[in-house]
Chain A
Amino acid sequence: MSLAWSLKTEGMGRLPDLDLGEAANAFRREVRQWLADSWKPACTEAELARPVNERLADRAFSRLLAKKGWLGVAWPKQYGGQARSALEHLVFEEEMACAEAPIGWHLVGVNMTGPAIMECGSQQQRERILPEILKGTICFCLGYSEPDCGSDLASLQTRAVRDGNEWVIRGQKVYTSSASYANYCWLAARTDPAAEPRHAGISVFMVPMDTPGITCRPLTGLNGQRANVVYWDDVRVPESAIIGGVNEGWKVITAALAFERVALASIGARGRAYFNRLLDHVLQTKRNGKPMHGDPLIRDRIASLAADLEAARLLAVQTARLIDQGRVPIHEAAMSKVYSSELMERLAETAFDLMGSGASLRRGVPSALAEGIFEFAVRDCLHTVIGGGTNEIQRTIIALRGLGLPR
């Protein structure tokens, strides 16, 4: 197969797809076609007015994917998955991201908590919970961040104290996305306050969100996302809510990172979708009576972004390939996340530069350029830099694990 072979079908104005091998290429085509046939993005005023994460957490869409068997694309067959390669998983996540498909309902379950249960859960928990995730019936929120604990998760203060056969949880979590509609919280709490090192005293609980004592106060993000401050006031849960054993929470939290790394690698795919919209604008627009695409300055900025997007894609593919080789891409995944998330910021800022004031009008306004997509992107891309481990933390990982620099 020629190295130059690509899936490019739409001619000028699109970044070409990368040849990822026969299986991944075929799967990309299949997913893309399925999306085109089965799903249309929300576009009504009422839909667009909803918090973005609630709009993108569509239970019905998750069930549609479940019927197709695509919630467990990369899960092992023994747990009901399709056991596809990490490259195929990447392709799948990329196509979902490009289409802005509403995957929020199942995302955490499929890519984080499900794999952690496979790795650390009891047999009873695996049998009970994993099939529900694959059916698209369960949505998780993550109860990690606290007012004084963000990047430094090991310093969390929320306490869980044993009382007979139950645990009593008290504390506060912040910025908890999905808490308003998730049916479970994947909660990290301190079960041994004296433990040294501190992360040795943490346990993970899977708590139904309708348990008495849980209350949510909504927050709205710059990107229109709804998150919550979640108060845990003497919330009682049974022993069986613990995943992976008492004080074994750190292992549970880090267990699922391979899947999460692939999911994070798809950030750049969203960037490519945005970039294609920018290309459309440049190709279709005249400035001072001349086509924008003929302006050397604009050509330079477009080409520069294209080169950055290709670099981001190569870093993402490298991460997936290492996983397929049975290796653990720690600093490679961090490089991919840093590069692609900061590229998203550059891309949105560049679009503002090239498009002018019309880029600052939002979706639904008839005169908004590119249907307002960059008005959203410029607010949303910060989330990719800050979320999933801030880029400062990722750079530390790159320095320590990739370069072996001293701590």
Chain B
Amino acid sequence: MQSTDQEIETLRDAARRFLSGTWPVERAVPSSSNREELARLWQGIVSQGWLQLIEEAAPGGMRIASMLLEELGRAGCPAPLLDAVLAQLVLSRMGQRDEQITRLREQLRNGKALFSCVLGPFDGDERAGTFQVEQNDETRLYGHASFVEGAGLATHFLVLTGWPKQVAIVSAGVPGVAITETPGLSVPSLAEIEFKGATAISGLCNVDDGRAVRALARLGLVARSLGAAARGFELVTDYAKMRVQFGKKIGQYQAIQHKLANCLMSVETSRLALIRAAVAYDRGEPDWIYAAGIAFAIANPALRQVCLETHHAFGGVSFWDEHEMPRHFRRIHADLVRCGGVHGAREDIAHYLLGEPR
């Protein structure tokens, strides 16, 4: 059943209250690199029933998920909700009668299983990973994954292997899994994972193909970036109303007014495109993957520019780590370069409209 806008906003208020209490602005940066705090936060999120809310909104739930991801972005909070949403999708399309899968779904719902999703050949970035699955008495996974989010916290890796509709699920603790952190813009760091014959549960996923998972991932990345960009934009708008230079509030200068007006258009078009795509997914519209590509293609350059302009309008004030903006800058840039970036999304749109080549 579709949630109304009013319901969404009520949920948003509750999520924002929860995050302001458990993930306060002043602790967000040090807490983001602290596994214990992240694990505690995740249990809090599970207790709030976020995953159940998303699941019970089936066949949709992306409208709620995107709002929650936006709030996480706004709070500078790297809780692994995006991976949980992707895992929910994939597991729900795998064998319903498979006991192991049913148990994993239950563990995901109650917070006992924490998934890190590896899109591999469906990521949109050629370097994201390639895999081989060996099936004898047991299933074993070989291969290398890059740009993996939440690897340090995960209890399970859910890997789209590239074989038609095949998914491999690997427990984080089994032999043959080597995780290497790859520090960069993303906080916590992304990781590389070597699978050297790790035992896996494998199954077929009844989605069209990995493109659907990629499209959902892109929506999640847009949602988080939108939350971060919109938060920075709120801060700089308030700042422009009170900061005085040359005897005037800087918001009285047209140079600042026009800059912020452009930012508002960018934030709003990004938000509208995100909602449009999430609703299309929730309704099961056949063109929802196209809509997700459009949302990414709109939001990607727009939100990065908002982020830059926000910094420009702040001047030197927001450049330093005692300010919120650096964490939002990292989030926006780290997220929007993923899954093939803007070129990957445009290519998917072109493929939809023009056909081959991909």
Contact = CB atoms under 8 A, between A and B. Distances in A.
Nearest to B147: A357
B316 interface: yes
Contacts of B246: 151-152, 155
B333 A387 contact: no
A82 to B, nearest CB: 34
Contacts of A367: 127, 146, 182, 192
A321 interface: no
B83 to A, nearest CB: 16
A150 B190 CA distance: 37
B136 interface: no
Nearest to A399: B255
Contact of B126 (A152, A288, A297, A353): A288
B175 to A, nearest CB: 23
B315 interface: yes
B342 A222 contact: no
B8 interface: no
Interface string B327-338: 001000110011
Interface string A375-407: 100110011011100111001100000000000
Given A220-B320, A396-B255, A353 B326 contact: no
A222 B255 contact: no
Contacts of B186: 360
B128 interface: yes
Contacts of B128: 357
A145 interface: yes
Contacts of A375: 184-185
Interface residues on B, range: 35 or more
Nearest to A175: B316
Given A221-B320, A222-B326, A356 B184 contact: no
A220 B182 contact: no
A301 to B, nearest CB: 9
Interface string B231-255: 0000000000000111000000101
A354 B343 contact: yes
Residue of A358, A364, A368 with most chain B CB atoms under a 10 A cut-off: A358
Contacts of B123: 357
Contacts of A359: 337
A4 interface: no
Interface stretch (B50-58, B269-277, B304-312): B304-312
Contact of A368 (B182, B255, B301, B334): B182
A357 B127 contact: yes
B208 interface: no
A151 B341 CA distance: 36
Given A148-B244, A352-B341, A356-B341, A220 B321 contact: yes
A175 B321 CA distance: 12
A128 interface: no
Contacts of B317: 150
B125 interface: yes
A365 B184 contact: yes
Contact of B333 (A175, A354, A368, A378): A378
B259 to A, nearest CB: 8
A392 B256 contact: yes
A152 B255 contact: no
Interface string A168-182: 000000110000000
A349 B304 contact: yes
Contacts of A387: 316
Contacts of B320: 175, 219-222, 227
B182 A385 contact: no
A345 interface: yes
Contacts of B344: 356
B184 A297 contact: no
Nearest to A395: B255
B322 interface: yes
A369 to B, nearest CB: 8
Nearest to B327: A222
Nearest to A217: B322
B183 A390 contact: no
B308 to A, nearest CB: 6
A375 B126 CA distance: 19
A382 B184 contact: no
Contact of A386 (B312, B326, B338, B341): B312
A150 B126 contact: no
Interface string A41-82: 000000000000000000000000000000000000000000
B343 A353 contact: yes
A338 to B, nearest CB: 11
Contacts of B147: 357-358
B146 A391 contact: no
A131 interface: no
A379 B329 contact: yes
Contacts of B321: 219-222
Given A152-B245, A359-B337, A360-B337, A368 B184 contact: yes
Interface string A261-298: 00000000000000000000000000110000000010
A362 interface: yes
Nearest to B259: A392
A372 B184 contact: yes
B202 to A, nearest CB: 26
A361 interface: yes
B312 A353 contact: no
B146 to A, nearest CB: 6
Centre residue among B256, B301, B320, B329 by max chain A CB count within 10 A: B320
B319 interface: yes
Contact of A356 (B127, B245, B256, B311): B127
A357 B326 contact: no
B340 interface: yes
Interface string A339-353: 000000100010011
A375 B190 CA distance: 14
A361 B315 contact: no
17 contacts: A150-B245, A150-B317, A155-B245, A155-B246, A220-B320, A221-B320, A287-B126, A360-B333, A361-B190, A368-B184, A375-B185, A382-B329, A385-B312, A386-B315, A387-B316, A390-B312, A395-B255
Interface of B: 123, 125-128, 146-147, 182-186, 190, 192, 244-246, 253, 255-256, 301, 304, 308, 311-312, 315-317, 319-322, 325-326, 329, 333-334, 337-338, 340-344
Q: Which 5 A-B pairs have the closest CB atoms?
A: A361-B184, A152-B245, A219-B320, A357-B147, A222-B326
